[in-house]
């Protein structure tokens, strides 16, 4: 990816990071297909205290310290996903912290990961770091340091350490037939950012996407943990269907999703209809197509929405049926009014994920 020509003026408050990149946020992830090939060559790690590793493609690693504490370890960084540097810092931090919340953990510390060009003013980097600092502080954690590298494209994220009780770890491999599937945030951020780059997104739609990405999954994690949920993941670069597939394969079940029930950011389907579909959606299609079935009633635009790469997406919770209504009510009454029940877990069928 080459640095694009951007006129730098003295009005740094209006510096548009989005003009620097072709793909930003989690849309810049490697293809899940290619990533699986690389990971398959790694030797299997064995340690009696390693509770969660890459075996199930989970959100974070979990390492047991003693009978009461286990560390939750994760990292995430990416190119800009929005125009404003401060917003970018907040979103990148919220995205990195989300992996801890998906595992049912609490945030302890974070390290800044920074790649930054020499030809962009340091005031821009300061705003990015300030956004990250404020979001980590909101999460109740502290940034204790970091590392910087000169690069052609700015990239920012965090290496995060959290903790969880060893008996209360939530993974993406614990879904049970009969569970109800809940999504806590609307999707569509990838398509909206793609539209924003070519000035097709309405301000209200873009602003909603930014606020959605900045929202921490902290409270959602606390709610699901209260009801002893055993299985969840967060929706990021592999799209709703990619992460649903990882949950289904990790749990050896099938997942049934009602496309019309999936919450979407306002006007995103209109933007998809105009062709605002990032390349990541097609990479995600390649990853899931052999293991997913689509009912004829699911149109092309909905299909692309379900494949859209999300940045700092919501939690995808596999809840025991008896707790689902209470979890949903508490989510809606807190920070996640657009939370919705979008499907269910079934016994394994021919396909891992079935969309109707």
d(CA 265, CA 190): 11
CATH code, 244: 3.90.650.10
| Bridge partners, residue 343, by sequence | 181, 257
Same domain, 153 and 193: no
Residue 31 domain flag? yes
Question: What pLDDT sits at residue 6?
Answer: 38
pLDDT in tens, the chain (356 residues): 333 333 333 344 567 898 887 765 555 666 667 777 877 778 888 899 999 887 766 668 999 999 999 999 999 999 999 999 999 999 999 999 999 999 999 999 999 999 999 999 999 999 999 999 999 999 999 999 999 999 999 999 999 999 999 999 999 999 999 999 999 999 999 999 999 999 999 999 999 999 999 999 999 999 999 999 999 999 999 999 999 999 999 999 999 999 999 999 999 999 999 999 999 999 999 999 999 999 999 999 999 999 999 999 999 999 999 999 999 999 999 999 999 999 999 999 999 999 99
Query: Which residues, in sequence order, are CB contacts of 56 under 8 Å at separation 6+?
Result: 171, 172, 173, 246, 250
- What's residue 40's pLDDT? 78
| Alpha-carbon Rg for the chain in angstroms | 19
Identify the active-site residue in 26, 231, 276, 292. Answer: 26
DSSP 159-218: EEEEEE-GGG--BTT---TT-EEEE-S-B-HHHHHHHHHTT-S-HHHHHHHHHHHHS-SH
Do 94 and 232 reside in the same domain of the chain?
A: no
Choose one of 168, 203, 238: the last residue of a domain: 168
> Is residue 111 included in any domain, yes or no?
yes
Residue 326: inside a domain = yes
Note the pLDDT of residue 3: 35
Give me the pLDDT at residue 28, please: 62
**CA gap 146, 319 in Å, rounded:** 37
User: Which candidate, 212, 216, 172, places its Cα nearest to that of 191?
Assistant: 212
The whole-number pLDDT of residue 54 equals: 75
Same domain, 265 and 152: no
299 shares a domain with 215: yes
Q: Give a yes or no: residue 2 inside a domain.
A: no
Closest to 232 measured CA to CA, from 306, 287, 169 = 169
Both 193 and 128 in a single domain?
no
Among the three residues 110, 144, 168, which one is the final residue of a domain in this structure?
Answer: 168
Are 148 and 186 within one domain? no
**Beta strand 353-355 with 254-257: parallel, antiparallel or unpaired?**
parallel
In a domain, 137, yes or no: yes
What gap in Å lies between CA 97 and CA 133, rounded to an integer? 12
- Total domains in the chain come to 2
Query: Which three-class secondary structure state does DSSP give residue 61?
Result: strand
Q: Can you give the pLDDT at residue 33? A: 74
Domain final residue pick, 147, 168, 189: 168
Residue 200 lies in a domain: yes
pLDDT value of position 59: 67
CA of 288: how far to CAs of 27, 250, 306, 319, in Å? 16, 14, 11, 23
Residues 212 and 144 in one domain: no
107 and 221, same domain (yes or no): no
CATH number at residue 114: 3.30.1330.10
8-state DSSP, 221:
H
**Residue keyed to tokens 């692309």:** 304
Q: Is residue 6 part of a domain?
A: no
Q: Is the pTM of this model over 0.85?
A: yes
Please check whether residues 186 and 298 belong to one and the same domain.
yes
Domain that holds residue 162: 12-168
The Cα–Cα gap between 67 and 328 comes to: 31
- How does DSSP classify residue 334? T
Residue 237 in any domain: the answer is yes
Strand ranges for the chain from DSSP E: 50-52, 61-64, 70-78, 106-116, 142-150, 155-164, 180-183, 231-234, 254-257, 292-294, 315-319, 340-346, 353-355
How would you label 265-292 residue by residue, b for 16+ Cβ within 10 Å and e otherwise?
Answer: bebbbbbbeeebbbebbebbbebbeebb
Is residue 26 annotated as a catalytic residue, yes or no?
yes
Considering the domain architecture, whether residues 145 and 229 belong to the same structural domain is answered as: no
CA distance 52 to 67: 16
Considering the domain architecture, whether residues 134 and 49 belong to the same structural domain is answered as yes
Domain match, 111 and 46 both: yes
**Burial class (CB within 10 angstroms; exposed 0-12, middle 13-18, buried 19+) of 316:** buried
């Amino acid at each position: 990816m080459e640095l694009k020509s951007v006129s730098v003026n003295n009005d740094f408050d209006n510096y548009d990071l989005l003009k620097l990149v072709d793909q930003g946020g989690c849309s810049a992830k490697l293809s899940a297909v290619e990533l699986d090939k690389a990971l398959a060559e790694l030797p299997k790690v064995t340690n009696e205290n390693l509770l969660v590793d890459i075996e199930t493609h989970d959100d974070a690693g979990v390492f047991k310290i003693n009978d009461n504490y286990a560390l939750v370890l994760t990292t995430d960084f990416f190119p800009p996903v929005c125009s404003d540097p401060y917003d970018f810092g907040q979103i990148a931090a919220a995205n990195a912290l989300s992996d801890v919340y998906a595992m049912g953990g609490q945030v302890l510390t974070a390290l800044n990961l920074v790649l930054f060009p020499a030809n962009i003013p340091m005031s821009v980097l300061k705003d990015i770091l300030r956004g990250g600092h404020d979001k980590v502080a909101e999460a109740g954690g502290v940034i204790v340091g970091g590392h910087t590298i000169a690069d052609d494209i700015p990239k920012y994220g965090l290496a995060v350490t959290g903790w969880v009780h060893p008996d209360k770890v939530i993974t993406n491999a614990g879904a049970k037939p009969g569970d109800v599937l809940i999504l806590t945030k609307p999707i569509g951020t990838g398509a909206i950012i793609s539209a924003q780059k070519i000035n097709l997104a309405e301000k209200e739609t873009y602003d909603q996407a930014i606020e959605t990405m900045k929202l921490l999954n902290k409270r959602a994690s606390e709610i699901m943990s209260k009801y002893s949920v055993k299985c969840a993941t967060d929706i990021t670069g592999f799209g709703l269907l990619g992460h649903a597939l990882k949950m289904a394969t990790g749990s050896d079940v099938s997942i049934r999703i009602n496309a019309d029930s999936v919450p979407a950011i306002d006007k995103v389907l209109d933007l998809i209809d105009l062709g605002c579909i990032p390349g990541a959606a097609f990479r995600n299609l390649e990853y899931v197509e052999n293991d997913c079935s689509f009912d004829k009633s699911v149109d092309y635009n909905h299909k692309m929405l379900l494949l859209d790469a999300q940045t700092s997406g919501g939690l995808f919770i596999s809840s025991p049926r008896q707790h689902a209504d209470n979890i949903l009510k508490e989510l809606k009454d807190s920070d996640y009014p657009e939370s919705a029940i979008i499907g269910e877990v079934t016994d394994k069928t021919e396909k891992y994920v079935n969309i109707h």
